[in-house]
Amino acid sequence: MITLAFALSQGSFTLDIDVVLRRGVTALFGPSGAGKTTVLDAIAGLRRPSRGRIAVGERILYAAAAGIDLPPHQRHVGYVPQDVALFPHMKVRRNVLYGRRPGHRPDLDAVASILEVTPLLDRSVGELSGGERQRVALARALMSSPEVLLLDEPLAAVDVELRRRILPYLARVRDELVVPIVYVTHDRAEVGAFADEVVVLDKGGVTQHVARAEWQASARVAGEPS
């Protein structure tokens, strides 16, 4: 369970959200500028709300009233941004192990197996294709033993066929590692294939928070692709 009940202002834009995420994978869906990435940044500790509370399970990451605001490195969050920033001077293995928390699971063999990056571990970053870079970035995020995985349109820069090949890896992370995922996307097909629930944002506010089946049904009624 992830509690997001906070407000955050940036210039003339204000994000005001109050939802509890209860399922494995939550899609944040909506137009550009709706506040989707701002939600992820707030969870990760990269942007500070003006009020409210953020918690993962019973662990409070931010609570204005209590004066709690954990720094990013203490939040135990895995974040894969739109721009996959792998370290070019490191081999894939060192990239994946970067930020690993000693004594925490999962181990490298388990993560590499799920994402099928074992054959890539001794390559340089420059040798990787776009899809391989995405999987390596996911592996690196998972090696930090996150309590929640944040994905900011990780497939936006790849073609449709590559998206279809990568989505099953995300499903394996959800099913085998049991890591809750908050996933930003503009793509309805990705929501239909991967999300358990959907939070629709527009102009900094929540317009819908429903299970995937209900969201798809409402899209069909409206004559939209689901």
Name the one residue in this structure whose structure tokens are 């990239």. Answer: 95
Q: What span, in angstroms and rounded, lies between the C-alpha atoms of 32 and 51?
A: 24
Q: 157 falls in which pLDDT band (50, 70, 90)?
A: low
Q: What span, in angstroms and rounded, lies between the C-alpha atoms of 101 and 96?
A: 12
For 60-70, the pLDDT digits (tens) are: 999 999 999 99
Q: What span, in angstroms and rounded, lies between the C-alpha atoms of 54 and 158?
A: 32
Query: What local confidence, expressed as pLDDT, does residue 174 receive?
Result: 78
For 168-214, the pLDDT digits (tens) are: 777 777 787 788 899 898 878 778 778 899 999 999 999 999 988 88
HEC per residue, 17-66: EEEEECCCEEEEECCCCCCHHHHHHHHHCCCCCCEEEEEECCEEEEECCC
DSSP string, 155-216: TTTS-HHHHHHHHHHHHHIIIII---EEEEES-HHHHHHH-SEEEEEETTEEEEEEEHHHHH
Residue 101 clears pLDDT 80, i.e. is over it: no
Across the chain, mean pLDDT equals 86
Q: Which CATH architecture has domain 2-221?
A: 3-Layer(aba) Sandwich (3.40)
